Every structure is written in structure tokens, then in C-alpha cells.
Amino acid sequence: MATPFLSSEEYDERAHQFYNEGRYDDAVETLREGLDVYPNSVELHIGLGYAFHAREEFAWARRSFEEALILDSEHEDALAGFGETLLKFGQQAAALRSFRRILELGYSDDLELMLQVGRALFREGLIEDAKQFFEVAVEQAPESAEAVACVGYAQHRLGDNDGAVTTLRRALQLDGDHSEARIYLGNILYDRGDYEAALYHLDRSSPDDHWDELGIWRIIELKKTVYRLRDNDAELKPWQDRLKDLAGEPDDIDEMLAEIEARVVESDQEQARGQLELFGALLTSLAGREDPDLHTIALDERRQLEGTWDEILQQMHRASGTARTRTLEEYMATEAHRAFTLTGMTVSTSDAESFVRAIAHAGLVRIVK
């Protein structure tokens, strides 16, 4: 049994500090120590529930919230935490009852609580229910840019893009520095083909505001297209650096595995050609004729890729910088979407040759031979 040098409030405060610093193990240890001294502290049980939830120990989190609710069945934070944990077990109806009980108890004026509940529902795909809590937050705090923006996010997920654009613009009128709302709006406008407006908003964000590679790729492409920038332009470097940060620097093991993979792929390709094909290629080379199966494309003024269509596609994938985070199929789908949004041209992803030729026809690369 710990010696009660601290009050329950002090234990709770110390645990909150650990929690905010991401030190969840220390928070759990502190809260358990506090509960040894103050076993009937509702706040400590609730804090322990959230700490367990952060550690994704949802069964323990549920138990802690249940113990808090035994002590105080109408505690709004316990009801919210209990509902969040129920969502993790797929008990959506029970979670919604817990969340709606908060409204019945009159806590709709608690802005942060309404946003917390809305975000929990949003993360689990219950968008319509999330939107209702976000709208309650806006009713209580119409000048809150965060609450208004959350309504916009929900509208977009529900397919109401026009409403989302209007709502997100309103959020930015309330707070022009709301980077998340601005990036979200820029991406919606990009998807709608309104590239100038998309660039207007995305260009007013900073690289560090982005946590998703897609938005950064889009702003790089828009800058290159609208401002006629080259790949090595200094204006693009901060964005390219941010892409590298998000992708993560490969460690020694990653580099070794990548090298082994490349050698295996190269070996497989060589064996697949067969001795007869290699002999034919040798005769062609000796005769001074070009191999009709080898091609060259230009990515830009400085970079060219050579090989068969399949080899060129693999090289394009690696040159994009996304080979470590996206499969070849995902890369092709992304490029096909980008080509369509920029030019309106449909790009086939059925095979390497069709894909590369279509991308070239859309003007994203150039076939040299």
C-alpha cells in the first residue's frame, strides 16, 4: 500500500501530464498507485481507463470505465470513455446509448466533449452520428472553427461535397490559420478539378502541416504545372524533404532487404528470358541493330529510363519515391487518377505497356523510343 503523500487530485494531475507527453506506462503506474490509496476516486478510474485505451488495452479500459460508472453513473467523462471503448468491441448501439446519455444529462454545452464523441464516431465510420455531435458543438459554439470544420469533414464523407466546401470556407473565415481545414478543402477542390483554387489553399499550408503523402504530391504537381517549375527548383525542396520525412529513412536492415529484393527480381527476370532470348539479343547487339523490346522514356529534362515496358514501369515506381509505401498496383492507380484529374484522359492499368503509353499520351512522361 502506497503512503498517501499525494491527494487524489495530485495523482490525477501527474498522470495527466504523463498522458499528454505520451508516457502511457507512467500514467498507468501513477493512477494505479493513486487508486491503492483512493480506491473510490472516480477521476482516477476514468484516467486509468483513458490510459489503457491509449495503450490499446481495451478490455482493461472498459473495466476501468465501468468501475467509474458504478461510483458515479452520470459522470460525463466516464460515459464518453465507456462509449469509445464499446466502439472498439463493435458494440455500436451500446456506445451510442452511452454517448446520448451525455446529451440527456445536459452536457451538450461542453464543446470539447462533443468534439471528442464526434471524433470517436467518425474514426469508427459512424459518420452520420458523428455529424450530429459536431452540429451540437456548432450550435453551442458557432464561432469555433474546429467545430465547424468537423461538420465539413463529415459532410464530405457523406458525399455532400458542395456543403463541405461551403462549411470549410466558413471555418477558414473564423480561423485563417486552421491548416487542417485548409488542406482538407484544397484536396476536395483538387478532386473536383478546380486546380487553381486547390493550389490557392494548399499553397497556404506548410510542409510540416501535412501528415499524408497524397496532399504533398498534389501540391508539388500543381506547382510544377501552374508555375512551370522543374523538379530541382528550390521552391519544391521543402515539400520533397517532407515526403522523405513521411516515408522515413531506411535503416541498415531495410537497405539490405531492398538490395536482396532487387537482386532476386533481377535474377528472376534474367532466368525468365531464357537462353534463346539472350542469344537472340546478343546477335541483335552484334549486328548493330536496336532491340525492339527495349524502350526509353523521359521523366523530365534530366532523367531517362530504359528497358522493357515492365522494367520501365518498375523504375517509374521506384523514381516516384513511393515504392516503400505503395504497391506497384497502388502506384499505377494513383498515377491514373492524377492523369485523369489533370487532363481528363483515362489511363489503362491492365499492363505495363498500355499504362506507360497512356501516361505519355497524357503528357506526364515522354517516350523517346
The top-scoring range by mean pLDDT among 110-119, 190-199, 272-281, 297-306 is: 110-119
For residue 340, being part of any structural domain is answered with yes
Mean pLDDT along residues 17-46: 93
- Per-residue pLDDT at 266 exceeds 60: no
Q: Could you identify the residue written with the cell 480561423? A: 175
Contacts 24+ apart (CB under 8 A), 264-271: 265/314, 269/311
Per-residue confidence (pLDDT) for residue 369, from 0 to 100: 77
CA pair distance 321, 236, nearest whole angstrom: 15
- Candidates 109, 156, 116, 154; CA nearest to 136 is 109
Higher pLDDT, 270 or 174: 174
For residue 191, being part of any structural domain is answered with no
Mean pLDDT along residues 232-252: 79
Higher pLDDT, 135 or 278: 135
pLDDT in tens, 131-190: 999 999 999 999 999 999 999 999 999 999 999 999 999 999 999 999 999 999 999 999
pLDDT in tens, 284-311: 444 444 556 788 988 876 788 889 999 9
- Per-residue pLDDT at 348 exceeds 90: no
By the 10 Å C-beta count (0-12 exposed, 13-18 middle, 19+ buried), 3 is classed as exposed
Per DSSP (E only), the strands in the chain are 295-298, 304-307, 366-367
For residue 159, being part of any structural domain is answered with no
CA pair distance 54, 67, nearest whole angstrom: 18
Sorted by sequence, the CB contacts under 8 Å of residue 274 that are 6+ apart come out as none
3-state class of 363 per DSSP? coil
Are residues 55 and 11 part of one domain? yes
Supply the DSSP symbol for 205.
S
Per-residue confidence (pLDDT) for residue 354, from 0 to 100: 85
Q: Which of 54, 85, 107 is where one domain is finished?
A: 107
For residue 205, being part of any structural domain is answered with no
pLDDT in tens, 36-69: 999 999 999 999 999 999 999 999 999 999 999 9
Are residues 98 and 30 part of one domain? yes
- Per-residue pLDDT at 359 exceeds 60: yes
Provide the domain limits for residue 75.
1-107
pLDDT in tens, 195-216: 989 999 998 999 998 888 888 8
- 95, 83 contact by CB (below 8 A): yes
Are residues 11 and 93 part of one domain? yes
The DSSP bridge pattern shows strands 366-367 and 304-307 to be unpaired
Supply the DSSP symbol for 207.
G
Confidence band for 259, pLDDT divided at 50, 70 and 90: low
Sorted by sequence, the CB contacts under 8 Å of residue 365 that are 6+ apart come out as 297, 298, 299, 316, 356, 359
CA pair distance 208, 110, nearest whole angstrom: 30
Domain count, the chain: 3
Supply the DSSP symbol for 365.
S
Q: Minimum mean pLDDT among 79-93, 281-295, 323-337: which range?
A: 281-295
- Per-residue pLDDT at 344 exceeds 80: no
Per-residue confidence (pLDDT) for residue 276, from 0 to 100: 47
Are residues 98 and 57 part of one domain? yes
3-state class of 219 per DSSP? helix
Are residues 365 and 269 part of one domain? no
Average per-residue pLDDT in the chain? 85
Confidence band for 223, pLDDT divided at 50, 70 and 90: confident
